[in-house]
Chains A and B, each alone.
Chain A
Amino acid sequence: MTAASGPAGASPATFLGLPAVVPPTAPRGVGMLRGDEPFPVAARRALGDAQLRRNLGKATGTIRGRRARVVAELDDWDQLRAAGAAIKDDVLAHLGDYLVQLEEQVTARGGVVHWARDANEANRIVVDLVRAAGATEVVKVKSMATQEIGLNEALADAGVAAWETDLAELIVQLGHDRPSHIVVPAIHRNRAEIRDIFAREMGASGGVPAPPGLTDEPRALAEAARRHLRQRFLSARVAISGANFAVAETGTLAVVESEGNGRMCLTLPDTLITVMGLEKIVPTWRDLEVFLQLLPRSATGERMNPYTSMWTGVAPGDGPRAFHLVLLDNGRTATLADPAGRAALRCIRCAACLNVCPVYERTGGHAYGSVYPGPIGAVLSPQLAGVADNPSLPYASTLCGACLDACPVAIDIPSMLVHLRAKVVDAGRGAGHPPKPERAVMAAAAWTMAKPDRWARALRAARLGRLLGRRRGAIGRLPPPLAAWTASRDLPLPPAETFRDRWSRQRSGPDGPDAPDSLNAPDPLDGPNASNPLDDPDAPGARDLQDARIGQDAPGGRDAPDEPDERTP
């Protein structure tokens, strides 16, 4: 793989650069950063769900088109993107200083700041605050951080009902489901499914039931959600939110949303509790000018999302009388400790990388097991929870580079995936696991390639493989353990004559050794530059290229059963 020339080359320095004390990763047994099963197993099941693939294909196609249009409107998009990356790198490099500054500002303006080392501590803090406010129910603004730590479950254990108010989160909650996308958690559901969930569950949940004869018109579904939640908003005493940005300089917090459920939660209750990952900081007020342009265009493909709320501490006579800010680590400092992985903390949760990812588009978010799916999830989840707990995620990618192109803060996800693959291998090596077949094969290959004559003999022997694919021109099925490879891919037939044989034949021919100029031609096996082949992931040609790259494991032309047939919805 040519992509391996990325960060892997830097890994020795990486290991030397590790601090003496590595901060702990997110604890097990709480929250949602780890799947119950490896990605390939979950992905295989998801790929068998034709409805899911149709829903995902339609939704991601829609959002890709919208994003491309509004990004093209800004002639300074590249400069904004570079600035976004640089600002976030500055935040990470001086995170301690900015955290202390943020705490000072929030405290000076009437807020209370809490620090949580991990999910359990954050949940405990929030439960105590809700109890102190005397509430038995809370309204919630969609928040990745509270999903990550399993706050709803912790509140339920404490006898507190948490009502999700974002439409997609409501669909997920009422459907006893899990979110599958960072911005649109119910992206895996189509309108008919949503209608059924509303009709069945709205009344059963103890809220206002769906109106009789509810149709699957999106407008009617939105209206049903409005009626279902209205009284909850008006009577709620405690709200819980996440944050998109926190300005260290002023202590200002920002929540970006569309429906007004965020405004309801941030404005009407007496007590507001905001749970925020450490990395959500921007240093100065002015820095918002970059992110308030990058985020809405990347996330929902809008010039600006319908509502953005900003608040600083407590404002007398306007909104909550008590404001608590919970600063959450939960594996973020562990991520920060890896120089080759810390840039994942630049992420502003726009999900643009999900929407362009050929793997995500086919498997959906549940297959990733973590609340953070898609390309960013494949680098974030293993770092927050430790690669040992998410060893298959760094492989959940074709390394096609579309995610890097789409990322508004230029996170080099493909290089990071390769880096994390190396860490997975190292973790397996160190933990005394039984050697895997892959390692045995690699060792055998190394032995074979070490001496030219061994290699030549091996290649000649490989010609026997032609017998396996005589009829179809490709090898479709091999016995175990090689079946693991051929289960989802064809193997090309070995050539009838190896290059070495041809070389020696032609050298002894009439033109002698000067003839084969073709030797200097580029080796087609090197393939396209794998680090970043797609200039514009939304261009039709680029999509074909992506698809071609996904399909390139099956050059024999067998119909790959896992490929959905519709490309553009």
Chain B
Amino acid sequence: MSRTDPSPSDDARAEVLARVRAALADRPAAPPASRDYRTAGDGSPSLAADAPREALLELLAGRLVDYHALVRRVPTGPAAPAGPTNDASDGNDGNDGNDDGDIAAAVADALTQRGARRLVRPPGLPAGWLAAARGIEAVDDEPPLTAAELDVLDGVLTGCALAIAETGTIVLDGGPGQGRRALSLVPDYHLVVVRADQVVAGVPDALARLRAAGRATRPLTWISGPSATSDIELHRVEGVHGPRTLEVVLVE
């Protein structure tokens, strides 16, 4: 769509821009911002730039727990590939699989404990992740489920684009295994798998990585703990409109 409505808005546009010009007749100087804070690659206040990956995961797990997310840590199996196998640059298209068995076991445990039976399965979710889950009905978003249909399901299992250790944040970008935004919003239980190579230190790292991967203009959801509110006497209470339980499978 382009701006097709003709006169009033065009008049308003011209007038507002003219007002801005008039207001800035003194031509204020605005020297460029100095970026002497920690930028991408500088680590984070709690984490040196060259901190080992274990420290990064430790920080993420701690911050997630601090905001009352449930965390399951899955140790890397002996046959797991060394080093990052895929970057956020190709989205989260799952994993070739050596640790899928461990993930599947953790997912199955989580679902059993939660008592979840009917689960949304976003397109592109690695098939192996649900391999060990017994008695689970995976519901595909194909054709797209209505909000009312999503509302009666027990939960959703997704991957993610990346996670930020310093703030305990998980970022979804709608890539494979994540689905459209409604899938991770309406069901009351969100189970998310985070791989070690998806964890970055701080907010600047996250934005840089999303940008480099061409995901900046995708619909993005940054999630830090379960739905919460501070609106009653400024006390944080978990559980309002979004998923009231956030559970993270952290693959190390």
Contact = CB atoms under 8 A, between A and B. Distances in A.
Contact of A304 (B15, B20, B218, B222): B222
B220 to A, nearest CB: 4
A539 B5 CA distance: 55
Contacts of A305: 224
A258 B227 contact: yes
A313 B219 CA distance: 9
A547 interface: no
Contacts of B23: 19, 23, 333-334, 336-337, 342
Interface in B166-196: 166-169, 174, 180-182, 185-186
B22 interface: yes
Contacts of B220: 308-311
Contacts of B181: 263, 266-267, 309, 318-319
B148 A234 contact: yes
B233 A117 contact: no
Contact of A96 (B17, B151, B164, B241): B17
Contacts of B224: 302-307
B164 to A, nearest CB: 8
A19 B22 contact: yes
B117 to A, nearest CB: 21
Nearest to A86: B33
Nearest to B169: A304
Interface extent on A, as a size class? 35 or more
B37 A259 contact: no
Given A90-B33, A260-B240, A304 B28 contact: no
A221 B180 CA distance: 30
A230 B151 contact: yes
A79 B147 CA distance: 44
Contacts of B40: 289
Contacts of A94: 30
Nearest to B25: A19
B163 to A, nearest CB: 11
Interface stretch (B96-104, B131-139, B200-208): B200-208
Given A121-B12, A290-B37, A184 B234 contact: yes
Nearest to B180: A318
A119 B227 CA distance: 33
A116 B15 CA distance: 10
B225 interface: yes
B222 A73 contact: no
A10 to B, nearest CB: 12
Nearest to B210: A285
A99 B16 CA distance: 10
Interface in A272-287: 278, 285-287
B207 A285 contact: yes
Contacts of B237: 218-219, 222
A87 interface: yes
B1 A112 contact: yes
A184 B231 contact: yes
A289 B216 contact: no
Contacts of A339: 26, 28
Interface extent on B, as a size class? 35 or more
B22 A62 contact: no
Nearest to B211: A285
B221 A115 contact: no
Contacts of B112: none
A92 interface: yes
A115 B12 contact: yes
| B21, B24, B39, B218: residue with the most chain A Cβ atoms closer than 10 Å | B24
Interface in B25-44: 25-40
A219 B229 CA distance: 10
B241 A259 contact: yes
A327 B9 CA distance: 11
A360 interface: no
Contacts of B232: 167, 186, 191, 194, 218, 221-222
A153 interface: no
B214 to A, nearest CB: 11
A538 to B, nearest CB: 15
A193 B222 CA distance: 33
B227 to A, nearest CB: 4
Interface string A255-266: 000111101101
B193 to A, nearest CB: 19
Contacts of A313: 217
Contacts of A115: 9, 12-13, 16
B81 to A, nearest CB: 31
A187 B234 contact: yes
B12 to A, nearest CB: 4
A167 B231 contact: yes
B234 A73 contact: no
A227 B35 CA distance: 45
A167 B208 contact: no
Nearest to B224: A304
Contacts of A110: 1
Contacts of B211: 285-286
A225 interface: yes
B22 A58 contact: no
| B37, B208, B230, B243: residue with the most chain A Cβ atoms closer than 10 Å | B230
Nearest to B222: A308
Contacts of A221: 232
A26 to B, nearest CB: 13
B228 interface: yes
B118 to A, nearest CB: 17
A83 B241 CA distance: 34
A117 B234 contact: no
Interface in A75-102: 75-76, 79-80, 82-83, 86-87, 89-90, 92-96, 99-100
Contacts of B233: 55, 58-59, 62, 190-191, 218
13 contacts: A62-B235, A87-B33, A90-B33, A93-B27, A95-B20, A267-B182, A287-B33, A303-B168, A306-B242, A317-B144, A318-B180, A318-B182, A322-B1
- Nearest 10 A/B pairs, CB to CB: A260-B242, A86-B33, A260-B241, A93-B30, A259-B240, A337-B23, A333-B19, A304-B167, A79-B37, A318-B180
Interface of A: 17, 19-23, 55, 58-60, 62-63, 66, 73-76, 79-80, 82-83, 86-87, 89-90, 92-96, 99-100, 107, 109-117, 121, 125, 165-168, 171, 184, 186-187, 190-191, 194, 218-219, 221-223, 225-226, 229-230, 233-235, 250-252, 258-261, 263-264, 266-268, 278, 285-290, 292-293, 300, 302-313, 315, 317-319, 322, 327, 329, 333-334, 336-337, 339, 342
Interface of B: 1-3, 8-9, 12-13, 15-17, 19-40, 45-46, 63, 67, 144, 147-148, 151, 164, 166-169, 174, 180-182, 185-186, 203-204, 207-208, 211, 216-237, 239-243
